[in-house]
Amino acid sequence: MNNVAETLIPKIGVITDVRIDTPDIKTFRVVTRDGKKAFDHRPGQCAMLSVPGVGEAMFSITSSPTNEEYMEFSIKKCGCVTEWLHQAEVGQEITIRGPYGNPFPVDDVFAGKNMLFIAGGVGLAPLRSVINYCRHYRDRYGSIDIVYGSRSKDDLLDYKEIIDEWATDSGVNVHLTIDNAQEGWDGHVGFVPNYVKELGFSTDKTAVLCGPPIMIKFTLEGLCAMGFDKTQIYTTLELRMKCGVGKCGRCNVGSKYVCKDGPVFRCDELDELPDEY
């Protein structure tokens, strides 16, 4: 394994594409100077991106490891680094280090399972990596259901990919929802946890939840009420991070460091942790 000098000291990444996803989320394509991926990763892992002089921040690698050309990050504008990145143009260099955290158990636990992905807002970013991984190795998984919701139609991340690619795949069911009715939207209206209840999934599935804490809380309750066991449900935690390697002491919940023991947790493992996330 690397030592921290090599992990804290980042590589140079070049932004080769910027896609405007929603009014406050852009998706950035990043490669090294020689046009390669900065490193390999597993679905669910993260990277530290930085703009020297502005700061460093952790982001999920939203592209799937099966994409061998580049990495992508969907970034929501909310502070110094993210605002700076939103101004960046193609060709801009940034720094990148990683991969950090534990991945989703896509090759063992998830293999052969019917998958249920539930996301809210920018929470789709970490899920997109797993979803595209499962779609790539389609025959290794059973049915795939995706429930995704955002404030409005304009706030749905990866909308084109969802409609053009995911929704047209056989055995993949996409269920979209937005919080409030809106002109030009004839899909479902309502919050994600309620929509999940309405859809009523059978308990032979393995569920993966990502989104704002409040959405996770209510969706988890809903799934449990439907008869899901917490051992069938995975989620990710998001805490403030600096080092990414379990040393700066910032991201712990009890004796676990989210940067290295997470961000992926099985929901029954979360019950073992003190309620501080």
Partner 1 sequence: MRKCSLDKLDLVFAEIAKNAELYLPVDGSDGGAVYQKWTEGTKRSEKLNTVKSPKDFFFPQTEDLMAFKTEGKSIDVIDTRKAAEDFVVFGVRACDVKAFDVLDRVFMVEPQDSYYTTKREHGVIIALACNKPSETCFCKTFGIDPKEPMGDISAWETDSEIFFKANNEKGEALLSKLSGLLADCADDAADAQKEKIDAIMDKLPLKGLTTEGFGGGKTEELFNRPEWAELSESCLGCGTCTFVCPTCQCYDIKDFNTGNGVLRYRCWDSCMYSDFTKMAHGNNRLTQKERFRQRFMHKLVYYPENNDGLFSCVGCGRCLAKCPISMNIAKVMKKMGGKASE
Ligand X SMILES: Cc1cc2nc3c(=O)[nH]c(=O)nc-3n(C[C@H](O)[C@H](O)[C@H](O)COP(=O)(O)OP(=O)(O)OC[C@H]3O[C@@H](n4cnc5c(N)ncnc54)[C@H](O)[C@@H]3O)c2cc1C
Question: Interface residues with ligand FES (CB under 6 A)?
Answer: 241-244, 246-251, 257, 259
Residue 272 beta carbon to ligand X: minimum distance, rounded to whole angstroms? 20
Contact 135, 144 (CB under 8 A): yes
Residue 176 beta carbon to ligand X: minimum distance, rounded to whole angstroms? 20
Q: Which of 27, 45, 63, 82 binds ligand X (CB under 6 A)?
A: 82
Nearest to 230, CA basis, from 262, 271, 277, 264: 271
From 108-116, 158-166, 185-193, 245-253, span contacting partner 1 (CB under 8 A): 245-253
Q: Total number of residues binding partner 1 (CB under 8 A)?
A: 45
Q: List the Cα angle 269/196/266 in 5-degree steps.
A: 10
102 lines the binding site for partner 1 (CB under 8 A): no
Residue 229 beta carbon to ligand X: minimum distance, rounded to whole angstroms? 25
Report how far residue 189's alpha carbon sits from residue 28's, in angstroms, rounded to the nearest whole number: 29
Give the CA-trace dihedral at 30, 33, 38, 44, to 10 degrees: 0
Out of ligand X, ligand FES, partner 1, none, what residue 74 binds, judged by CB under 5 to 8 A for its kind, is ligand X
177 contact partners, CB below 8 Å, separation of at least 6:
147, 148, 149, 187, 188, 189, 190, 191, 192, 195
Secondary structure class of 160 (helix, strand, coil):
helix
From 135-143, 177-185, 200-208, 238-246, span contacting ligand X (CB under 6 A): 238-246
By CB under 8 A, what part of segment 38-97 binds partner 1?
52-56, 78-79, 89, 91-95
Nearest to 44, CA basis, from 57, 28, 62, 56: 62
Out of partner 1, ligand X, ligand FES, none, what residue 96 binds, judged by CB under 5 to 8 A for its kind, is none
